[in-house]
Amino acid sequence: MPGDAHDAAVRDVASQLIAELTRRRMTIAVAESLTGGLLVAELVSVPGASAVVRGGVVAYATELKSTLLGVDAELLAQRSPIDPEVARQMAEGVRRRLGHDGMPADIGLATTGVAGPDPQDGHPVGEVWLGLAMEGRVEARGLTLGGDRASIRSVTVSESLMFVWERLMDRATE
């Protein structure tokens, strides 16, 4: 799926998201595993992103999810990092840790999963979990993706951006 049209669509969503966060005076913080920094890079590629993007943490190694983001170490040991609760805890952890003036970031967004080429901890290539934390609402979304490593990582970035966009639009209608 990665290609010029997909890349342009992702840039468009990132631009719209940054504009909407700026309009609402909201901040976002990102915790990444399988995407390895691609998600926060997409956000900061948008001019003006510094007004709303607090930063990103790449917690690629399993233990960093616990030490940097506060994910329960027992949970990681029991279920592995490819888990919906791990994604939720990553999102909440990055939201707290990358806040400012004693307040958490408005939104915490997280990615964890298996990009391949091999399965990991009994989880198939393409199993991905996104975590989203905002205003007392912490949720996870599972994805089952096909394709090669680059494709899985690219689609995870676009799906993550859409996840936040959808929740912001849900909030606008509440």
pLDDT at residue 122 in the model: 95
Mean pLDDT of the chain: 95
Q: Residues 110, 131: contact at Cβ < 8 Å?
A: yes
What is the C-alpha separation between 16 and 109, in angstroms, rounded?
Answer: 17
Q: Residues 131, 160: contact at Cβ < 8 Å?
A: no
Q: For 22-49, what is each residue's pLDDT tens digit? A: 999 999 999 999 999 999 999 999 999 9
What is the C-alpha separation between 63 and 40, in angstroms, rounded?
Answer: 21
pLDDT at residue 6 in the model: 82
Residue 4 reports pLDDT greater than 90: no
pLDDT at residue 174 in the model: 61
Q: Residues 154, 1: contact at Cβ < 8 Å?
A: yes
Q: What is the token pair recorded at 33?
A: 């595993």
Q: For 89-134, what is each residue's pLDDT tens digit? A: 999 999 999 999 999 999 999 999 999 999 999 999 999 999 999 9
pLDDT at residue 2 in the model: 52
Residue 3 reports pLDDT greater than 80: no
Helices first, then strands: H and E counts in the chain:
6, 5
pLDDT at residue 1 in the model: 45
What is the C-alpha separation between 143 and 158, in angstroms, rounded?
Answer: 12
Domain 4-172 indexed as CATH 3.90.950.20: yes
3-class DSSP assignment, residue 123: strand
Q: What is the token pair recorded at 151?
A: 């494709």
Q: For 156-168, what is each residue's pLDDT tens digit? A: 999 999 999 999 9
Query: Percentage of the chain with pLDDT > 90?
Result: 91
Residue 9 reports pLDDT greater than 60: yes
Q: What is the token pair recorded at 37?
A: 């920094």
